[in-house]
Structure 1
């Protein structure tokens, strides 16, 4: 994924509901081809039937245009084990729910995805969001050759770039917890796309994170913004869902102030991208920016507070040859030790800036909110 500047966040409010549907969840079974608008969408699930005869063979199917040959399966107990394994693989790869409007993927929090307090980090949550979004495009049947691009985008050498993303975190799950991530897309203004996510505990269904983002299209070769071609819109419209993960009144639309050498309280220089920080579009993966932002946050805050909200405003690309500076300044301190309300104000609020070290050009502006860990228990 990429990130660029000079794009204002737009969230559509009064959209044409006639082209959108909110449908109830239908639990799919077996491997099913769903036809919509003359396109074939694959909803991959597995049935754990007690009848071994139903599991004798796997049907021939086309997965994103690739033919999968028929393969015999063991009968009896081995067939049931195979079906159970297939169900697990299907869940991890993701599947469509709500008549293909929502894509759902399950993750298990690994030991290398947690921080010192043994809970998932903000970078981990962002990686989950990114992975689900990419698998959504791939599984939809419209995926092209690019990194998350559609077929029509690939033909025109176009890629998606994120301009703004906002996360609200209710809690950070622990090592070994299973979570499920739902994602869907909608139009954002005349020339953008909005992608939303909700992360739940897989078993309790408790919502633990909400996120929303705005995307535009860039030419992969010229690195200039492009209008969304009509052919690309026609690919996307069948997937549009008029639903907000973050309620309108909670969307962070305020401009993020630019920090300077005089206004920043802490500056961390000399941050250099590694080769592994680059994504398939040959620029720094947007998740990497979170780690750089935290480089200038006081260690006492990282130890004793949880980040409960983050808004990132991407201003320009960052390549491997760039050296970055991280800048942070507190913008609010509203300690309310006796306030146990779930909707209480943050204990701390910070403004951040990542900029190129050689010319001081903005890369990312950010705003974060933090709550004291004991207040969240």
Structure 2
């Protein structure tokens, strides 16, 4: 722009003659051609900061009133009055040419800087999803989306929490449904489900985590659906490290339909099934189903108890019940002593009842063997129960679960100790 301004000040732009041989600058960088000013036959002269039009007549007086006459300002192309032919007014429009060259140079410089940055920091660009919207794979059968682990998604161990991973799973499931065009107004419901007042309800989920990502890592989540039973749909996920391709976590879940009004389970209508059944993938679950029956856990037999848990407004989803990820945080409210020394390796959850905004819950945890020791592996059982006075039956089971824990590495334990010591 500086070069353009300087050139324009040194070479005033004049009107080229029809046959002067002036070239359009539009041939350079596909920029628009110069403006045609042949129809304007005036010339301005700068005299002491006052613009005076050349050859313009002085105002004439008619009956002592002034009438401005501008006969010399012609707009007829056939006019015989021409500006003097000089060397300067036959030159092409150099300002437009320099502007085009400057634009091309700046664009090339920007691309070169971006290429140099990618070479220096490949860890920041490998596998990135530019818009974070994900992409369809295999004609809609698979959906993949990348996530960058944010600072607010990690915990005291400096790794992403299980809730973070499950939130990413849930996000990809919704985006998968949206991308293939079968998302209605509800939470992952189809248009036919909206008409019939139905929504999806999670009944069981199993997650196995081999390694937790850390702050700044970019992960790729792949998801797909499969038919599990006549009235049961399975959804699976794989979470990989974008840089290494390593599988970090696997998850499998079962879903059924529920009526919004009656809050009862419903069969899958044929009209609804027809909207998504051609997206089914014929593949076994990515994790083996844990068929072990979860024994009944009561407060008298539990090792740890945490009562008085109530949902906040932010814990509710658009179906007006507690989001399934929130239950995990409540389960761990009675397992904090386990979490301080061990890292979650797998979790299996069975959802029995929905929890709504007026519910009051109690979290129970039982450790296999009766307590925490120095072993490398610990198994726990969990249950969330309705307390008296809530909208569910007192003592009714909301969620039952089983967790497996592995011992933390020394660096994780040291980081946790430092975090605890820093909180005064």
TM norm structure 1: 0.72
- Name 1:312's counterpart in structure 2: 349
- Name 2:378's counterpart in structure 1: 348
- Name 2:326's counterpart in structure 1: 288
Deviation of 1:292 after TM superposition, in Å, equals 0.5
Question: In the alignment, does 2:378 pair up with 1:361?
Answer: no
Question: In the alignment, does 2:103 pair up with 1:103?
Answer: no
Query: 1:198–1:245: 8 Å Cα contact kept in structure 2?
Result: no
Separation (CA, whole Å) in 2 of partners of 1:171 and 1:376: 15
1:372 aligned to which of 407, 416, 421: 407
Separation (CA, whole Å) in 2 of partners of 1:224 and 1:90: 42
Instruction: Flag the 1:221–1:275 CA change in 2: closer, same or farther, 3 A.
Output: same
Separation (CA, whole Å) in 2 of partners of 1:127 and 1:293: 16
Question: In the alignment, does 2:358 pair up with 1:321?
Answer: yes
Instruction: Flag the 1:201–1:239 CA change in 2: closer, same or farther, 3 A.
Output: same
Structural RMSD (CA): 2.8
Deviation of 1:243 after TM superposition, in Å, equals 2.1
Deviation of 1:276 after TM superposition, in Å, equals 0.5
Per-residue displacement from partner, 1:94-138 (whole Å, max 9, x unpaired)?
111123211001001111100001100011111011111111111
Query: 2:321–2:354: 8 Å Cα contact kept in structure 1?
Result: yes
Separation (CA, whole Å) in 2 of partners of 1:286 and 1:169: 18
Query: 2:348–2:402: 8 Å Cα contact kept in structure 1?
Result: yes
2:171 aligned to which of 125, 128, 131: 131
- SS of 1:93's equivalent in the other structure is coil
1:199 aligned to which of 233, 239, 253: 239
Per-residue displacement from partner, 1:62-109 (whole Å, max 9, x unpaired)?
xxxxxxxxxxxx999399799x99x96655111111232110010011
Instruction: Flag the 1:376–1:315 CA change in 2: closer, same or farther, 3 A.
Output: farther
Residue ranges of structure 2 left out of the alignment (5+ in a row):
1-28, 31-102, 119-124, 389-393, 413-424
2:191 aligned to which of 140, 146, 151: 151
Query: 1:210–1:245: 8 Å Cα contact kept in structure 2?
Result: no
Residue ranges of structure 1 left out of the alignment (5+ in a row):
1-51, 54-73, 338-345
Query: 1:196–1:244: 8 Å Cα contact kept in structure 2?
Result: no
Deviation of 1:222 after TM superposition, in Å, equals 1.4
Separation (CA, whole Å) in 1 of partners of 2:372 and 2:157: 24
1:257 aligned to which of 295, 300, 304: 295
Separation (CA, whole Å) in 1 of partners of 2:374 and 2:132: 40
Deviation of 1:336 after TM superposition, in Å, equals 9.2
- SS of 1:194's equivalent in the other structure is strand
- Name 2:9's counterpart in structure 1: none
Instruction: Flag the 1:89–1:198 CA change in 2: closer, same or farther, 3 A.
Output: closer
Per-residue displacement from partner, 1:219-269 (whole Å, max 9, x unpaired)?
11111111001011111111100223424xx32122211211221111100
Per-residue displacement from partner, 1:265-320 (whole Å, max 9, x unpaired)?
11100011111111110011111111100110142x21221100000000001011
Per-residue displacement from partner, 1:320-369 (whole Å, max 9, x unpaired)?
101110000012589896xxxxxxxx700000000111111100000000
- SS of 1:119's equivalent in the other structure is coil
Instruction: Flag the 1:320–1:204 CA change in 2: closer, same or farther, 3 A.
Output: same
Query: Which of these two proteins has the greater Rg computed from alpha carbons?
Result: 2
| Bigger share in strand | 1
Deviation of 1:189 after TM superposition, in Å, equals 1.0
Instruction: Provide the aligned length of Structure 1 versus Structure 2.
Output: 293
- 1:87-236 to 2 correspondences below 5 Å: 92-236=132-276
- SS of 1:152's equivalent in the other structure is helix
Separation (CA, whole Å) in 2 of partners of 1:376 and 1:161: 39
- SS of 1:92's equivalent in the other structure is coil
Query: 2:143–2:176: 8 Å Cα contact kept in structure 1?
Result: yes
Separation (CA, whole Å) in 1 of partners of 2:220 and 2:131: 9
Question: In the alignment, does 2:308 pair up with 1:278?
Answer: no
Separation (CA, whole Å) in 1 of partners of 2:343 and 2:227: 32
